[in-house]
């Protein structure tokens, strides 16, 4: 009885169309987390080159795990009213747990593995466990139970990996993350509890709220390009090579912003009546590629500023040009699907141009490589603009 009184009305609450201040506060932790992840990518390119592939795999694993926490948090706040005191408590607890994860991240495959695993499991199990108690008697209860069961299954592997260490840690954690990604992709089906989509489980998502949360997180990630390049230039100071690369990094950031907010897919239609934009099934995975591409680009420009002398390394070329490719591919999946019109090909053409242009870049000085990447991104943004002949910015279709 006490539980029902404390959580009364949660299932019937509705998320506002705009993000709350607390959600913006939550994103501040991810400014730190993204900086930590960018630091790992930098280390992968410099300190631990002898084990580049394995270290890069660990970085991808951490990035995906941190993204899973953020995306599910955004989904929670876009489903129920985040202005409620009980939900605010859950958001604050998740925020603190994310901070612990970010602090533990550099040594997660070392001495802090157990701390990282236990904190991650508490976060991922804690939210659906809260909803399981809070939504008793509500149609959305079974959906919360399904999510809880999937995360309990992955939680066993997370804890096992934290305890085992060594190669076993990577294997257990990879399997755990694969379970979570699969569950999210197929809407966490459980026998006898159903496997229906969100719209048929008593769960109503505010598409406008979710889209705004994604847009805000994109801007936070975009700031990483400016932070990495600016920090690299700050010491030892301005130089010809550093200034050219700084300008190229700024141009790349502006191109990312322009393509993200001004790109309109061929099948997109305007929304009215407060309906917001249509929720895409792969929106979360699209943003994963977008943010990952931005982080790679930021690290690449920062590395050129710190070491502008030739020859350039093939891995650095892959980072500088691969980052924009990931961004363009991810952004293309945010287009609204249409049976009458295909997806816009502008972004795919741009990605192909980047791949082809990257091949001879190992023969050029690092500064020329950075400048070329920036110029190509500007060209893609201009080509995309002319292909659609649009004027004002639009929210991506999520």
Rounded CA-CA distance 171/174 in Å is 5
What is the CB neighbour count within 10 angstroms for residue 156?
13
Rounded CA-CA distance 67/214 in Å is 11
- Note the pLDDT of residue 396: 58
- Note the pLDDT of residue 269: 32
- Note the pLDDT of residue 247: 94
Q: Which residues of the chain fall short of a pLDDT of 50?
A: 1-3, 265-278, 280, 337-341
**What residue segments make up the domains of the chain, in order of their start?**
2-200, 207-388
| Residue 236, preceding peptide bond in cis (omega within 30° of 0) | yes
- Note the pLDDT of residue 94: 96
Distance of alpha carbon 340 from the chain centroid:
30
- Note the pLDDT of residue 264: 62
3-state helix, strand, coil in the chain (%, to 5): 70, 0, 25
pTM recorded for the entire structure: 0.87
Rounded CA-CA distance 370/200 in Å is 49
- Note the pLDDT of residue 66: 94
- Note the pLDDT of residue 274: 31
Whether residue 251 contacts residue 383, with contact meaning beta carbons closer than 8 Å, is answered with no
Distance of alpha carbon 337 from the chain centroid:
21
> At 190, phi and psi to the nearest 5?
-140, 135
């Amino acid at each position: 009885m006490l539980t029902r009184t404390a959580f009364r009305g949660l299932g019937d609450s509705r998320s506002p169309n705009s993000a709350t201040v607390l959600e913006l506060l939550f994103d501040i932790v991810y400014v730190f987390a993204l900086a930590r992840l960018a630091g790992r990518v930098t280390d992968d390119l410099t300190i631990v080159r002898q084990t580049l592939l394995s270290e890069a795999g660990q970085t991808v694993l951490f990035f995906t795990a941190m993204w899973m926490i953020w995306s599910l948090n955004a989904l929670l706040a876009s489903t129920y009213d985040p202005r409620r005191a009980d939900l605010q408590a859950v958001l604050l607890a998740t925020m603190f747990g994310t901070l612990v994860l970010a602090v533990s991240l550099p040594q997660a495959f070392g001495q802090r593995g157990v701390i990282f695993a236990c904190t991650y499991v508490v976060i991922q199990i804690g939210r659906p466990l809260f909803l399981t108690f809070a939504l008793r008697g509500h149609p959305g209860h079974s959906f919360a139970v399904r999510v809880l069961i999937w995360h309990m299954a992955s939680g066993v592997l997370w804890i096992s990996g934290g305890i085992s260490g060594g190669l076993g840690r990577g294997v257990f954690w990879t399997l755990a993350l694969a379970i979570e990604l699969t569950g999210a992709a197929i809407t966490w089906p459980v026998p006898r509890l159903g496997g229906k989509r969100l719209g048929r489980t008593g769960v109503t998502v505010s598409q406008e709220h979710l889209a705004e949360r994604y847009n805000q997180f994109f801007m936070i990630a975009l700031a990483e390009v400016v932070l990495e390049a600016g920090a690299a230039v700050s010491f030892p100071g301005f130089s010809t090579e550093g200034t050219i690369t700084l300008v190229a990094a700024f141009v790349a950031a502006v191109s990312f912003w322009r393509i993200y907010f001004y790109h309109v897919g061929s099948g997109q239609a305007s929304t009215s009546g407060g309906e917001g934009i249509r929720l895409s099934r792969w929106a979360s995975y699209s943003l994963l590629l977008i943010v990952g591409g931005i982080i790679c680009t930021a690290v690449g420009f920062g590395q050129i500023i710190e070491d502008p002398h030739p020859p350039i390394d093939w891995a650095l070329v892959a980072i500088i040009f691969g980052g924009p490719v990931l961004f363009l591919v991810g952004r293309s999946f945010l287009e609204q699907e249409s049976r009458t019109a295909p997806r816009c090909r502008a972004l795919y053409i741009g990605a192909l141009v980047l791949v082809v242009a990257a091949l001879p870049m190992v023969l050029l000085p690092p500064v020329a490589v950075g400048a070329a990447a920036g110029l190509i991104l500007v060209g893609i943004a201009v080509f995309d603009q002319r292909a659609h002949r649009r004027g004002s910015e639009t929210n991506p279709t999520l």
